[in-house]
Each structure stands twice: as C-alpha cells, then as structure tokens.
Chain A
Amino acid sequence: MPKDGEIKSGIGASSKRREDVRFLTGNGNYTDDINIRGQAYVFFLRSDVAHGTLNSVDTSAASAMPGVVQIFTGADFEAVGGIPCGWEVTDKHGQPMQEPKHPVLAHGKVRHVGEPIAAVVADSLEQARDAAEAIEVDISELPAVINMKDAFKEGATKVHDDLTSNLCYDWGFVEENKGAVEEAFKNAHHVTTLELVNNRLVANPMEPRVAIGDYARSDEQHTLYTTSQNPHVIRLLMGAFVLGIPEHKLRVVAPDVGGGFGTKIFHYQEEAFCTFAAKACNRPVKWTSSRSEAFMSDAHGRDHVTTIQLALDKDNNFTALRTDTLANMGAYLSTFASSVPTWLHGTLMAGNYKTPLIYVNVKAMFTNTVPVDAYRGAGRPEATYQIERVIDMAARELGADPVALRRQNYVTEFPYATPVAVEYDTGDYHATMDKLEEIADFTGFEARRKESEAKGKWRGLGINNYIEACGIAPSNLVGQLGARAGLYDAATVRVNATGSISVMVGAHSHGQGHETAFPQVVADMIGIDESQIDIVHGDTSKIPFGMGTYGSRSLAVCGSAMVRATEKIIAKAKKIAAHLLEASDTDIELKDGMFSVAGTDKSVAWGDVTLAAYVPHNYPLEEIEPGLEETAFYDPSNFTYPAGAYACEVEVDPDTGKVTIERFAAADDFGNVINPMIVSGQVHGGIAQGVGQALLEGCSYDEESGQLLTGSYMDYAMPRADDLPFYSVDHSCQTPCTHNPLGVKGCGEAGAIGSPPSVVNAVIDALNSGGKKVAHIDMPLTPDRVWNAINNA
C-alpha cells in the first residue's frame, strides 16, 4: 500500500481541500449571508417553563407595536400538519410506537423550555423582540418530567395527555433470543454488571441554524434557504407532511453549512414557520438562531441510561450480553429520534466480538426536555461505550489483560452474521489492534507511568475497539424496520462540451470536504485533472433526489452513485470515440484522458470526444443521443462496517481530580481511502468530540424546575485545542467494503464513536494504579466527579 503523500492526484491523493479557500478567507456563502430584498425578521417567543397548560396567548397589544407585520400563535397552525417523525418503531408486542403531534407552535400545552409559543414577524429583529415582550402568555405550570426513571413510574405526570404514558415504545431485540440469553446467564461462569449513563450532549455546530422563507406569487413558488444536511429530505418532510406544498412548487436550498454533526439533519419548526409565513405575509421571512436559542431548540444527542451485563465462561469467552436502556426522546419525536436507540444501537451490540447470544431492551421515554436525536455516531457511540466499558470492567474483575480478553473474543471470519441482525462483510480486528499496539507504543507505557508517578500523577492506559454500521442503508431493509423514507442516493454527471465536468450530488458537504474528494474519484476514473471537475450540492432545483449526508454515508452511497453515473458516461464516450476512431467500441480503452484503439496508436482525447457529443457534426446520431450527461441512483445492498482500535493515555492529578490526555492513538479500518488527509481530519474532529463527551460536555436540566442548567458556554464545556493532545492516527489497515464499487466504508463518525470508552477506561486504569478501587465514573469525567470518586474509594 502506498504511504500517505505518495499519490499525487486522484484516488489516494491528499489533495488540499479546495473549499477551504473560501471558508478561510471569509468568502463562504452561509444561509445567514443571504438577504432577500424586502425581507422581514421573525423572533420566536419561547417557553420559559418546562411544562404547563397554555391558557392564552394575547397578542393584541404586541400587534400594534411599531414594525410588526404579523404575529402567529399555535392556533394559526391547527390546520397544518405536525413535524413528522421519519421512523416508526414497533415495540416488543408488535405495536407501533406512541407518536404525539409535534406542532409548529405550541398549542394547548408547552412541553419544554425553549418550545416556541408565538412568532413575531416584523421589519427588524429588534422590533420583533420588542413586540414579543408585549405578548401576554398565561401558563399554568405543571410538574416537569425530567428524570427518565421518574417518567417511567406508575402515575407519573404525563408529558402528553393523549398518550397512555410517557413510554414511546418498549423495544426488545432480538425478542426471540431472550429466553436463550437468560439461560446463558444462568450458566455463566462470571457475570459483569455495569450501570452507566451516556450523557446528553448539545451538538453546537459553529454556525447556528438559520431559515429564510421566500414566496413568489407570480408562479406560486416557495423557496426555503436553510442550514440543512439534506435539502431533499426537508423538502419531502415539510412539503408532503407539514405544509402540503407539492414538490414542484417547493425549492430547498442549503448553501454552505457551518457544521451539522447530525443536528441539522432534522426538519425543524422554524423551517416550516418561515416557509408558511413568507406566503402569509407575502414577504421573505428570515430567522437566525442565537446561540442561546440553539441550546434550547437544536435537537440534543445521546442521553441513555443503561444497565449492561456480560456473561463469560471459565475460559473468558463471552457467552451472552444483555442490556436495559432508558432512552430520552425529549418532549417530541424529532425526525430520526426513534431509530437511534433501536436500529442504530441494538444492531451494533455485538461489537467486534463473537458473543453468540444478545438481548437488548430499550424503553424510549418522553420528558419535558428538548427533543433528542442523532448526534455524530447516533446509537453506535452508545453501543460501543457500553460494550467497551463492560469488557474493561470484566477484565479488571477477572484479572485478565484487557487487550488479550478482547482479542480472544474477536470475530475473525467474514462475512459474519451477528445475533443482532446484521452481517459484517469484512474486517480484520487483530490487524487494527496490532497497528494500535505499535502507534500507541504499549511497550513504553510502564516507563511513562513511572515518570508520571515521579511527578505525583497517576497515569492510565485505556483501549477499546469499535465497530459501526455506516452507509445507511438498503432501502428495502430499513423499510421493513420502520423507516418512512428510502435511503439511496443519487448523482448526475454532466460533462460540458470542452470536457470539464459538473457533478450534481445528493450528498451535502458541511465540513466533510466533498468538493475535494468527490472530484478525485471522477478524475481518477477518466484520467483528467481534478480541477476539471466541480460538484454541485445543496439545492433541490439543481441536484437529483438524494438523501443527504449523515451516518458516514456520503462516499459509500452517493459516491457509489457517482461512480455508476461516471461508468455510464465512460461507456457512452467510448461509443463516440469508437465512431471518431472508426473502430468498435469494445476495442476502445480509456487511460489518462485518452481514448485509444487497443493495439494501435490511434487515439482521441477526452476533450475531443466531449466536444463531439455537443457539436455532433461527425456523430452517430442514429445510434446514440448527443450530449454527455448521466444520472445514477444507488441503493446499497448492505451497511458498511468501519472498525478500529483506539488507545488513550491520561494523567490524573489526585489532588484535584483533573484529567489530562497525554497521548491518543487511533487505528482505523475505513476500507479504501480516497483522500488520506481529509480522512485524518475527520478522525481528528471526531476524537475532539468524543473527548468532549468523555471529559467536558454534559447537558443538564434542573430535575425540579426543568430549567436548562447548561444553556450557554458559561456552563456547557466544549473541547478546546488545549484540552487535546497531538493524535496519532492511522488508516493503513484496509479491508475494502465488498459490496460498493469504491470499497469504501465511511470515516465521519468513527472518532466520536471510538474515543469515549478509551478515555474513560484510561481514567479508571489511572485511579486503580493509584490504589483507588474505582470501578466506574459517569461521563463527563469532570475534576469534581473524579475527585469525588477518588475520595469515596
């Protein structure tokens, strides 16, 4: 395999991210940069109580305030659909999940701090805010349901009066295995039990959400500019389910987007509101979220409480695994909320191991908190964290080496059908662990531990494996599992007359570097320079119907569509070349942008062929159409399974409980790699978020009042550069995906999935090496929590 940097262009080259030129020089075009003549501004009056009956919203005084165009309340949206959920989960009794209506503006009740109650449209934002202060809202407060265990109790206050309880669903997976799993636990030689919390997170993309609705009376055309990872999904959900706008009358544009991390997948009320209000007011309506609003209106992530048990036989083989999870849905079901703790989580509970029997129970709860949905990794970090923590704990209890215990239980033969309904196509977990041992320098650890000791610090080494399912997803399979959409993607390759190429893709780039990596693939296939190719994304009026970017799917799914479309282009171009060269198209070879007749010196350049396609003077018009443009839709036949091994080394200051990360190593298997530099960057960012979750970030609510305690950066700790070490990342272990044309697996979420367990494992190791018998600390491992654990040990 070539080393990073050896390949200079095309697949495998670390081409510089071309989009960074505009991002780094302030020339990006973000949604907030868009201003439409005559636009009005909306300010949302949001609930400051967590739970209450909305008795009245009196807008009469406010409506008379200067600059006010119109004020909307929940009553204005009664005839309009609710914000839909995109995935129907069936519970263990075969019943559909409970699915409350999610109104655009609160109606009858408010259910979380930050829920919009009224929307003021005015000439200026400040006028809208002034008027919002004059709105009289009468709310009778109700007890807030915050803690999931309380929410589950008999007689608990109900978040939704029209539902039978706060339970969205009680999901058992695989229900048929339950008896066998119980039996295996009875026969176990050793059982390790761990209760843990996967802490609630706020995604905090650098760019807050923005939406602008525009409406042209002349042709009844709606346009929504929005900070979205998937404009077609928004068009479908909002057009079909909320506002009833036919798709040909609705254009959704997601221009440059400053980070998404999952939280910009979902269809939000503000988008529907701006689209609706633009027509109602006959003016463009713009909303720009403040950071404070983002904390209480962007979907949050994670928030699971789990008890996991691992059964082992006398030889330390894993014999069974079972879990009980409470998963927080928040007050309403966000777009993919229901799928995260179930199909994106339960199906990964085998991890990298051949545990034969697994049973997962998930109870999804409604609470008076912001809706919770997918956040970088979505379900897979929760699965990985449980598995890799419980294995570490078992190793400690049994006095086993944590690496050896893992290795002994690895899946080694592929394809491998797990007991949780997925089939790993390929992988080599020993190879990534071997690589990790090398780059993390396991052998030097004891010496480093001694050095730390000499400074009065406790040093720990934590390792873990991870596996994820990416490239979501085979549409027919997810359809059976409750998805209300297909999950293919699409690309159109438009070759221009002089040979340059525009590729219109359904994937959306908001930090991933598609504008650089995608052209590398097409350039490689044709043999022309990357600079001849641009991608176009983020505008439903320009691109084919693709499903957008999340779940590390862009290259595996949309990239595959692009390959298929490019193959069609090449096949047609060969026919044209054959005509020009007076040969048979089966004899035409394409190399380095030249078509030649095999075994001869006759050739014609790419640009001459493309020109012939658009200036078809000498052209086989009776056989093929002029022009050179092809579209392909690609629906994957399986998920992809990136996997890897991570190691973290920490120092703990026993006097303060402060943890510092001294070393971090990641050995990933992403299959084939298109741009190694971009892949490393994705892993770096993912680790930063994983370390953030492990040490710093924790969204917290007051359990009595339901107030958000971490509503700003004063209290919500984001990881910063000096919280992180230099990473050692490697992706030279490559077992290419067997079922997509590029052999790629996806790398966007790995860092966030793979890093939290190794950080926590390292801290526990450090405390134990300091003589403190601490079994577990819940994330985030703040100095306060670590010090408490030390003190109570």
Chain B
Amino acid sequence: MYNFEFEKPSSIADAVAALGGDEAQALGGGQTLIPTLKQRLASPTTLVSLSNIPEMQGICTGDDGALCIGGATTHGAVASGAGAYPGLAALAGHIGDPAVRNRGTIGGSLANNDPSACYPAAALASGATLVTNTREIASDDYFVGMFETALEEGEIVTEVRFPIPQASHYEKFVQPASRFALVGVMVAKFADGVRVAITGASEEGVFRWAEAETALSVNFSPDALDGLTLDADNMIGDLHGSKEYRAHLCGVIAKRAVAKAA
C-alpha cells in the first residue's frame, strides 16, 4: 500500500473534521478497504478510523421501538447483541468468517454497498433509517446502485435504526468462492405489510421485489410466490451463475426465506 496518515478520533465531530481534509477516507473495520489499499487500488492521504468513537458503538432500543446500531458496531457484536431482531442477528452471524465479523462494521458494509453484501438486504427489507453526521436517510432513498449510495463526500453512517418486524429471515445462497451472497433474500413481515429485499442478483445492487411484497402481504406463505418471476435482463451474469439462474434463484430463495421466517 501507499503511505498515509492515520487518525483515530474519539468523537463524531472530530472524525468529520478530519474527513474534511484533502483525500481523507473513513476506515471502518478495514475488511474491504485494507485489501483495496494493499492492492494499491486506492491512495488516501489520511485514514480516519471510526473504531474509537463511543457514540458509534453498540446496540440499543429507540423510543419508537427500533433497534439502533452504532455505525462502527462490528458484525460479531450484532450477531451476539441484536437478539431483539433475530433475523438481523442471524444475518450478521453469517457474514464472512470470525475474523471478518470481529472487525467488519455495519456502517462500512452499508457505505460500501457491495452488490453481493448481506446488510443492504437487511436495511432495505427492514425499512431502516441510516443516520449520518448530517441527516437521516430512509433505506429506500439510500441505495443508489452497485457500490453507490446517497452518502456525500465525507459523510459517515453513525447509526442505523431498524424497525423490528414481526417475523423475518435472511436466506443466503452463497457464491461458492467468496461466500458472499450469490442471491440473498431478506423478508420482513410488519403489521402493515411485508418487505422483500434481494442482494447478490441485480446489476443495480440490492432491490425490493414489489410483486412478492404484495403477494406476501396478502398471504405470508411460500406458496404466495408461486408463479412470480423476475426479469433476467437486469441480473448479474458471471462465472458463478447466469442471469437466468440468478433470476430463478431469487424465487427459490425468497420462498425459503418466507418458510423460515420467525
């Protein structure tokens, strides 16, 4: 990697100030960024670590009952600490391996918005709110496309607020090599309807499956998805699965998610 300066502020305000510098970049758990730096594919002048900011750590319940997770909370901490939202805790517990889960953070994952990442499906299916240093962004407005989000330059995800569904499940069909999601489906059943978000499949990144949501809102059972299909055109086609295969998997995996939702 190239040389860089390293800062480790202890408040959001200091972090934001440090990120105002020329070519400064936030460092979460480093599970995506450090490999990128090692390959010399990025050259920030300053890395601003978010791992020492108490305001961005931990899990609590908000006044509205939502589960609030600090932006620098690790996957491991969510897996063990988000018992109030079992579908989310289980999702976090299946990201990567223990080393990845002990460093990687929810804010880093959502900021990165890898088209095969798991958390984006949870945030979108839950109708989560992403809290940044300047504003609150609804998940429906946040995910813009592959590796693209609504975040502005220097803006950081400080907290994510998840409304807790009545029942939910994240079903992940792994890509055999990376074990990211080849197709991952999160279903979340709320009092006012069902939300379904799919990761891994689309060239536009995580997306909601409207027809499935409508059908499941009427009848929350796997059979409700019978006959529903997704267009293969916008799907990712690569070494690990054709567009058609991914489109097909969306249906199969969504059914399994519904069947396991609790």
Name A's B-contacting residues (CB within 8 A): 126, 129, 133, 292, 655-658, 695-696, 700, 709-710, 713-718, 782-784, 787-788
Q: A29 to chain B: closest CB distance in Å?
A: 25
Q: Quick check: B252 and A655 within 8 Å, CB to CB?
A: yes
Given A714-B177, A715-B178, A717-B177: A788 in contact with B242 (beta carbons within 8 A): yes
Contact of A710 among B239, B241, B249 (CB under 8 A): B239
Given A656-B249, A788-B242: A782 in contact with B178 (beta carbons within 8 A): no
Q: A674 to chain B: closest CB distance in Å?
A: 36
Q: Which residue on A lies nearest to B183, using beta carbons?
A: A656
Chain B residues whose CB sits within 8 angstroms of the CB of A783 once the complex forms: 173, 176, 182, 241, 245
Given A656-B249, A713-B178: A784 in contact with B173 (beta carbons within 8 A): no
Given A696-B176, A716-B177: A784 in contact with B39 (beta carbons within 8 A): no
Give the complex CA separation of A126 and B177 in angstroms: 29
Q: Quick check: A715 and B177 within 8 Å, CB to CB?
A: yes
Chain A residues whose CB sits within 8 angstroms of the CB of B242 once the complex forms: 784, 788
Q: Considering the complex of A and B, which 9 residue pairs feature the smallest CB-CB distances, nearest first?
A: A717-B177, A717-B176, A784-B241, A714-B178, A655-B252, A784-B245, A715-B177, A696-B176, A716-B177
Q: Quick check: B240 and A784 within 8 Å, CB to CB?
A: yes
Chain A residues whose CB sits within 8 angstroms of the CB of B135 once the complex forms: none
Q: Quick check: B40 and A129 within 8 Å, CB to CB?
A: yes
Q: Quick check: A782 and B240 within 8 Å, CB to CB?
A: yes
Q: Which residue on B lies nearest to A655, using beta carbons?
A: B252
Q: Quick check: A292 and B40 within 8 Å, CB to CB?
A: no
A sample of 15 more A-B contacts (CB under 8 A), given A715-B240, A717-B177, A783-B241, is A126-B1, A292-B39, A655-B252, A658-B173, A695-B176, A700-B239, A710-B177, A714-B178, A715-B239, A716-B177, A783-B182, A783-B245, A784-B240, A787-B245, A788-B242
Give the complex CA separation of A700 and B248 in angstroms: 24
Give the complex CA separation of A180 and B20 in angstroms: 81
Chain B residues whose CB sits within 8 angstroms of the CB of A718 once the complex forms: 177
Size class of the contact patch on chain B: 10 to 19
Name B's A-contacting residues (CB within 8 A): 1, 3, 39-40, 173, 176-178, 182, 239-242, 245, 248-249, 252-253
Q: B61 to chain A: closest CB distance in Å?
A: 34
Q: B261 to chain A: closest CB distance in Å?
A: 18
- 10 residue pairs of the A-B complex, CB under 8 angstroms, read A126-B1, A292-B39, A655-B252, A696-B177, A715-B177, A782-B176, A783-B182, A783-B245, A784-B240, A788-B242
Q: Quick check: B177 and A788 within 8 Å, CB to CB?
A: no
Give the complex CA separation of A696 and B253 in angstroms: 21
Give the complex CA separation of A566 and B104 in angstroms: 57
Q: Which residue on A lies nearest to B97, using beta carbons?
A: A720
Chain B residues whose CB sits within 8 angstroms of the CB of A787 once the complex forms: 245, 248
Main secondary structure of the interface of A (DSSP, over half): loop
Q: Quick check: B241 and A656 within 8 Å, CB to CB?
A: no
Give the complex CA separation of A782 and B249 in angstroms: 14
Q: A295 to chain B: closest CB distance in Å?
A: 12
Main secondary structure of the interface of B (DSSP, over half): loop
Give the complex CA separation of A713 and B100 in angstroms: 15
Among A133, A709, A783, the most chain B Cβ lie within 10 Å of the Cβ of: A783
Q: Which residue on A lies nearest to B3, using beta carbons?
A: A126
Contact of B177 among A655, A656, A657, A713 (CB under 8 A): A713
Give the complex CA separation of A98 and B256 in angstroms: 56
Q: B200 to chain A: closest CB distance in Å?
A: 13
Give the complex CA separation of A527 and B245 in angstroms: 64
Q: Quick check: B176 and A656 within 8 Å, CB to CB?
A: no
Q: B130 to chain A: closest CB distance in Å?
A: 26
Chain B residues whose CB sits within 8 angstroms of the CB of A126 once the complex forms: 1, 3
Q: Quick check: B245 and A788 within 8 Å, CB to CB?
A: yes
Among A657, A709, A713, A715, the most chain B Cβ lie within 10 Å of the Cβ of: A715
Chain A residues whose CB sits within 8 angstroms of the CB of B176 once the complex forms: 695-696, 717, 782-783
Q: Which residue on B lies nearest to A657, using beta carbons?
A: B245
Contact of A656 among B3, B173, B239 (CB under 8 A): B173
Give the complex CA separation of A772 and B199 in angstroms: 30
Chain B residues whose CB sits within 8 angstroms of the CB of A716 once the complex forms: 177
Chain B residues whose CB sits within 8 angstroms of the CB of A782 once the complex forms: 176, 240-241
Chain A residues whose CB sits within 8 angstroms of the CB of B239 once the complex forms: 700, 709-710, 715
Q: Which residue on B lies nearest to A698, using beta carbons?
A: B239
Chain A residues whose CB sits within 8 angstroms of the CB of B253 once the complex forms: 656
Chain B residues whose CB sits within 8 angstroms of the CB of A129 once the complex forms: 40
Q: A622 to chain B: closest CB distance in Å?
A: 69
Chain B residues whose CB sits within 8 angstroms of the CB of A717 once the complex forms: 176-177
Q: A602 to chain B: closest CB distance in Å?
A: 65
Q: B258 to chain A: closest CB distance in Å?
A: 14
Q: B226 to chain A: closest CB distance in Å?
A: 13
Chain A residues whose CB sits within 8 angstroms of the CB of B178 once the complex forms: 713-715
Chain A residues whose CB sits within 8 angstroms of the CB of B39 once the complex forms: 292
Among B177, B182, B248, the most chain A Cβ lie within 10 Å of the Cβ of: B177
Chain B residues whose CB sits within 8 angstroms of the CB of A788 once the complex forms: 242, 245
Q: B252 to chain A: closest CB distance in Å?
A: 5
Q: B202 to chain A: closest CB distance in Å?
A: 17
Give the complex CA separation of A133 and B39 in angstroms: 12
Chain B residues whose CB sits within 8 angstroms of the CB of A715 once the complex forms: 177-178, 239-240
Q: Which residue on A lies nearest to B253, using beta carbons?
A: A656
Give the complex CA separation of A129 and B1 in angstroms: 9
Q: B89 to chain A: closest CB distance in Å?
A: 21
Given A713-B177, A782-B176: A656 in contact with B252 (beta carbons within 8 A): yes
Give the complex CA separation of A695 and B240 in angstroms: 12
Give the complex CA separation of A133 and B2 in angstroms: 12
Q: Which residue on B lies nearest to A715, using beta carbons?
A: B177
Q: A349 to chain B: closest CB distance in Å?
A: 32
Give the complex CA separation of A126 and B253 in angstroms: 45
Give the complex CA separation of A696 and B182 in angstroms: 14
Q: A693 to chain B: closest CB distance in Å?
A: 13
Q: Which residue on B lies nearest to A658, using beta carbons?
A: B173
Q: B246 to chain A: closest CB distance in Å?
A: 9
Q: A688 to chain B: closest CB distance in Å?
A: 15
Q: A53 to chain B: closest CB distance in Å?
A: 27
Q: Which residue on B lies nearest to A292, using beta carbons?
A: B39
Q: B150 to chain A: closest CB distance in Å?
A: 26
Q: Which residue on A lies nearest to B237, using beta carbons?
A: A784
Give the complex CA separation of A715 and B241 in angstroms: 12
Q: Which residue on B lies nearest to A129, using beta carbons?
A: B40
Among A292, A696, A716, A717, the most chain B Cβ lie within 10 Å of the Cβ of: A717
Q: A50 to chain B: closest CB distance in Å?
A: 17
Chain B residues whose CB sits within 8 angstroms of the CB of A709 once the complex forms: 239
Give the complex CA separation of A68 and B15 in angstroms: 37
Give the complex CA separation of A736 and B38 in angstroms: 52
Give the complex CA separation of A714 and B240 in angstroms: 11
Give the complex CA separation of A657 and B177 in angstroms: 16
Q: A593 to chain B: closest CB distance in Å?
A: 49
Chain B residues whose CB sits within 8 angstroms of the CB of A658 once the complex forms: 173
Give the complex CA separation of A393 and B136 in angstroms: 62
Give the complex CA separation of A696 and B242 in angstroms: 16
Q: Which residue on B lies nearest to A653, using beta carbons?
A: B252
